[in-house]
Amino acid sequence: MIYDFFFKITGSNIIASIIQSLLPLFIFILPFALFAVWLERKVSAHMQDRLGPMRVGKHGWLQTIADILKLVQKEDIVPNEADKPLFNIAPVLVFVGSYAVFAAIPFSGAFIGSNIDLGIIFIIAASGFVVAGILMAGWASNNKYSLLGAMRSAAQIISYEIPTVLVVLTIIMITGTTNLFTLSEMQTGHFWNWMIFGGPNFGVAKFIFIPFMIMNFIIIYISTLAEVNRTPFDIPEAESELVSGYHTEYSGMKFAMFFLAEYANMFAVSAIVTALFFGGYQSPVGYLGNLFGAHWLIPIEQFFWFTAKGIFFVFVQMWLRWTLPRLRVDQLMTVCWKYLIPIAFVNLIIIGLITVL
Amino acid sequence: MKEYFKNAWSALFTIFIGMKVTFKHLFVPAVTIQYPDVKLQLPERERNRLYVNMDDCIGCDQCARACPVDCISIETVKGLPGEDLGKTSNGKRKALWVTKFDIDFAKCCYCQLCVFPCPTECIYMTDVYEFSEFERSNLIYDFVTLTPQEREEKKENYAKLEAEKAAAKAAAVNKPIEKQETPKP
Amino acid sequence: MALKTEEMILNMGPQHPSTHGVLRLELELEGEIIVGAKPHIGYLHRCFEKHCEAMSYPQVTPYTDRMDYLASMYNEFGYALAVEKLLGIQVPERVEYIRVIMGEFQRIASHLVAIGTYGLDIGAMTPFLYCFRDREKILSLFEQTCGARLLYNYIWVGGLSHDLHPDFLIQARDFIKYFRPKIKELNDLLTNNKIFIDRTANVGILPLDLAINYGISGPNLRASGFKWDIRKDDAYSVYNKFDFDIPVGKGTMGTVGDCWDRYYIRILEMEESLKIIEQAIEQIPEGDVTSAIPKRIKPAVGQVYSRVENPRGELGYFIISDGSVNPFRVKVKGPSFVHLGIMNELLKGYMIADVIAILGSIDIVLGEVDR
A163 touches A337 (CB < 8 A): no
Spell out which residues of chain B touch residue A343, defining contact as CB-CB under 8 Å: 8
Query: A328, C18: Cβ pair inside 8 Å?
Result: no
What pLDDT digit, counting tens, does each position of B129-178 carry? 888 889 988 889 888 888 888 888 888 888 888 888 888 888 877 766 55
Q: How many CB atoms lie within 10 A of CB A66?
A: 14
> Backbone dihedral region of B98: left (phi > 0), alpha (psi from -120 to 50 degrees) or beta?
beta
The answer to whether A45 contacts chain B (CB < 8 Å) is yes
Verify whether the Cβ–Cβ distance A324 to B18 is below 8 Å. Answer: yes
Instruction: Note the pLDDT tens digit of each residue in B71-104.
Output: 999 988 887 777 777 777 777 778 888 888 899 9
Domain edges within chain B: 52-151
Asked if residue A228 belongs to a domain, the reply is yes
Q: Which CATH class is domain B52-151?
A: alpha beta
Domains annotated for chain C, with CATH where assigned, are: 8-370 (1.10.645.10)
**Residue C88: burial class (beta carbons within 10 Å; 0-12, 13-18, 19+):** exposed
What was the pLDDT predicted at A34?
A: 86
Task: Report phi then psi at B101, rounded to 5.
Answer: -140, 90
pTM score above 0.95: no
For C194, which of B14, B111, B112 is closest by C-beta distance? B14
Q: Which amino acid is at A95?
A: F
- Chain C residue numbers with beta carbons less than 8 Å from the beta carbon of A240 are 17-18, 120-121, 123, 356
Residues of chain A contacting residue B4, judged by C-beta atoms under 8 Å apart: 339
Q: What H or E segment, with its residue span, contains residue B15?
A: helix B2-25
Partners of residue C309 on adjacent β-strands = C314
Rounded to whole angstroms, the Cα distance separating A46 from A58 reads 16
The number of distinct structural domains making up chain A is 1
Residue A58, in any domain of the structure: no
Question: In which band, very low, low, confident or very high, does the pLDDT at A283 lie, cut at 50, 70 and 90?
Answer: confident
Number of CB pairs, chain A paired with chain C, less than 8 A apart: 66
Residue A333 sits in which domain range?
73-356
Q: Which residues of A touch C10 (CB under 8 A)?
A: 242
SS3 A236: helix
- Smallest Cα distance from B166 to chain C, Å: 37
Residues of C in contact with A47 (CB under 8 A): 126
**If pLDDT is split at 50, 70 and 90, which confidence band does A244 have?**
low
Before A232, cis peptide (omega within 30)?
Answer: yes
- Cβ distance of B10 and C194 shorter than 8 Å: yes
Confirm whether the ipTM is greater than 0.90. no
User: Residue A130: which of A166, A164, A96 has the closest Cα?
Assistant: A96
Cβ contact, residue pair A45, B22, below 8 Å: no
pLDDT tens readout for residues C110-168 = 999 999 999 888 888 889 999 999 999 999 999 999 888 999 889 999 889 888 888 89
CA geometry: angle at C177 spanning C176 and C182, to 5°? 85
Mark yes or no for CB contact B21/C189 under 8 Å: yes
Check whether A239 has a pLDDT greater than 60: no
A4 domain residue, yes or no:
no
